[in-house]
Amino acid sequence: MASLSHRTIDYYTKIGLLTPVKRSSSNYRYYDDETLQRLKRIEMMKKEKYTLEEIKSSLDLLSKVSKNEDVTDKLASVQLQMQQLEKEVKELSPLLEQMKPQQARKLYKLLTPQSAACIEALLLFLGKGPLL
């Protein structure tokens, strides 16, 4: 189903890229549909010139994240905060554009470098261009 050789599947299992769901009494390995999706992702990443070690690290991290509901909840929360921030920057943008360059520079000096960079990035993302 994966269009890969038995030898490749064995190697991926040996290096930890794949884990069989169960083994038969004759020691045959059984894999599920998730493994097939994982194999497709592995082959895609190989085409993008990732090493097997990089692929394993990436898939391990993805597996940990998908199993950890707290992380998923945090990511959803961050996404909502980013959407709110984007809305606020859209509202702020016309006001900033009306300022003289000197006023904008003074205002930006009050911000942390990270905050200023974030606002500039959002403005660029929204197609407004940098203010300074």
pLDDT at 66: 66
Structural domains of the chain, ranges and CATH numbers in brackets: 6-67 (1.10.1660.10), 69-125 (no CATH)
pLDDT at 1: 77
Task: Give 96's strand partners.
Answer: none
Residue 92 pLDDT class (50, 70, 90 cuts):
confident
pLDDT at 42: 92
Those residues with Cβ within 8 angstroms of residue 92's Cβ, 6 or more apart along the chain or in another chain: 119
pLDDT at 108: 79
Q: How far apart are CA 58 and CA 17, in angstroms?
A: 10
pLDDT digits (tens, 9 = 90+) for 49-87: 999 999 998 888 877 766 666 777 778 888 888 888 888
Assign 3-class secondary structure to the chain: CCCCCHHHHHHHHHCCCCCCCEECCCCCEECCHHHHHHHHHHHHHHHCCCCHHHHHHHHHHHHHHHHCHHHHHHHHHHHHHHHHHHHHHHHHHHHHHHCCHHHHHHHHHCCCHHHHHHHHHHHHHCCCCCCC
Sign, CA torsion 2/7/11/14? positive
pLDDT digits (tens, 9 = 90+) for 5-19: 889 988 988 998 888
Residue 132 pLDDT class (50, 70, 90 cuts):
low
pLDDT at 122: 82
pLDDT at 104: 80
